[in-house]
Amino acid sequence: MVVVAGAVLLNFALPRLAPGGPVDYLVPPQAGSVSAEERAELLDRYGLDESVPRQLVTYLGGLTRGDLGVSVRDGRPVRSVIAERLGWSLLLVGGAVVLSALVGTALGFFAAWRRGSGVDLASLVSVLFIDALPAFFVGLLLLLVFSVRLDLFPLYGAVPASEVGGARFLVEVARRLALPLATLTLTGLASVFVVARSALLSELDEDYVFMARAKGLDEKGVRRHAQQNALLPVSTATFLGFSTLVGAATVVETVFSYPGLGTLAFQSVLSRDYPMLQAVFLVLALIAIAANFLNDLVYPRLDPRLRAQ
């Protein structure tokens, strides 16, 4: 809750912290075409001529009513624009989180069991290498190979331009989702992999793993013991990775011209659409906070030591 409040406050404060205040951003002083009256009217419209506490009250009031303001760029209500985009972003980021968690954990555990072997080293190095390439560069390369050269996937967008219905529509959506999703999954993979690998390695050193072996369990049974506990840090890493992927999605969506919140944020920065930008940031922050909250809910289910408290 405190974090949510913090995010809201930060969001409120951001434009007001900027040098020159929000007015200069809304109405650049250099733009001579704006007269003093028009300026005053604008200020009045956005409520910027009131005291800061009053502005805060107005802002919070708007938030509770779900009123996020009006886009400066095209005059549409911010809320409906965001509602349009939110689904696509959740589909992309959510999919990437799930995929990278599954694949990363499986690979990480696989490597840890073969600690020090060639397989371990190879997977470690290749995962680190993929992780080292920036997300947008991976995106560009995938685009280059699969769309430009091989022509397997469309170049941009999320929905087909022409009207198609039913299953055909879903296939087209999937084709357009494939590359951004792959890019984002690759981005999130490494952190999960590294955590899963080292978590399992340190669990393997624990006495209870030794004991599982000593009491005669086969390798499969021993493995289950260790993996159960190694999942704890992996789950935390996955949920915390959410906010990293939300950030990376901004760039990846831009590369693929995918109509999510990331592209929206980018466009808003370019067109100085501050109400929109503020709202996008708030929504993205809330998504990340929700992921964190989920982690707090899930963790005690995995670790009985926390359940008692």
Q: Is 10 in the site for other proteins (CB under 8 A)?
A: yes
Task: Please say which residue, 37 or 218, places its beta carbon nearer to other proteins.
Answer: 218
Minimum Å gap between C-beta 270 and other proteins is 8
Q: Is 27 in the site for other proteins (CB under 8 A)?
A: no
For other proteins, which stretch binds (CB under 8 A), given 99-107, 158-166, 168-176, 237-245? 237-245
For other proteins, which stretch binds (CB under 8 A), given 28-36, 54-62, 83-91, 299-307? 299-307
Of 10, 25, 9, whose CA–CA distance to 72 is shortest?
25
Query: Residue 230's CB: how many other CB atoms inside 10 A?
Result: 24
Please give the Cα distance from 208 to 226 (Å, whole number).
8
Minimum Å gap between C-beta 44 and other proteins is 22
Q: Is 201 in the site for other proteins (CB under 8 A)?
A: yes
Task: Please say which residue, 65 or 305, places its beta carbon nearer to other proteins.
Answer: 305
Residues 93-152 within binding reach of other proteins (CB under 8 A): 115-117, 121, 124-125, 128-129, 131-137, 140-141, 143-144, 148
The DSSP string of 204-273 is HTSHHHHHHHHTT--HHHHHHHHHHHHHHHHHHHHHHHHHHHHHHHHHHHHHTT--SHHHHHHHHHHTT-
Selected from 212, 234, 237, 276, the binder of other proteins by CB under 8 A is 212
Task: Please say which residue, 22 or 77, places its beta carbon nearer to other proteins.
Answer: 22
Instruction: Please give the single-letter amino acid code of residue 37.
Output: E
Task: Please say which residue, 17 or 36, places its beta carbon nearer to other proteins.
Answer: 17
Q: Is 92 in the site for other proteins (CB under 8 A)?
A: no
Show the CA angle centred on residue 106, arms to residues 241 and 292, nearest 5°: 25
Please give the Cα distance from 93 to 188 (Å, whole number).
10
**Helical residues (DSSP H) of the chain, grouped into ranges:** 2-17, 21-26, 36-45, 52-64, 78-113, 118-132, 135-142, 166-204, 207-214, 219-255, 261-270, 274-302, 304-307
Q: Is 86 in the site for other proteins (CB under 8 A)?
A: no
What is the end-to-end Cα distance of the chain in Å, rounded?
20
Structure tokens at 20: 């020159």
Q: Is 294 in the site for other proteins (CB under 8 A)?
A: no
Pair 108, 279: CB distance under 8 Å: no
Q: CA 174: distance to chain centroid?
A: 19
Selected from 225, 258, 259, 276, the binder of other proteins by CB under 8 A is 225
Selected from 72, 78, 265, 276, the binder of other proteins by CB under 8 A is 265
Q: Is 234 in the site for other proteins (CB under 8 A)?
A: no
Q: Is 91 in the site for other proteins (CB under 8 A)?
A: no
DSSP state of 163: -
Under rule CB under 8 A, how many of the chain's residues touch other proteins? 83
Task: Please say which residue, 29 or 170, places its beta carbon nearer to other proteins.
Answer: 29
For other proteins, which stretch binds (CB under 8 A), given 42-50, 78-86, 172-180, 281-289? 281-289
| Long-range pairs for 86-89: beta carbons < 8 A, 24 or more residues apart | 86/261, 86/283, 88/158, 88/258, 88/259, 88/260, 89/249, 89/253, 89/260, 89/261, 89/262
For other proteins, which stretch binds (CB under 8 A), given 42-50, 80-88, 98-106, 214-222? 214-222
Residues 39-78 within binding reach of other proteins (CB under 8 A): none
Q: Is 297 in the site for other proteins (CB under 8 A)?
A: no
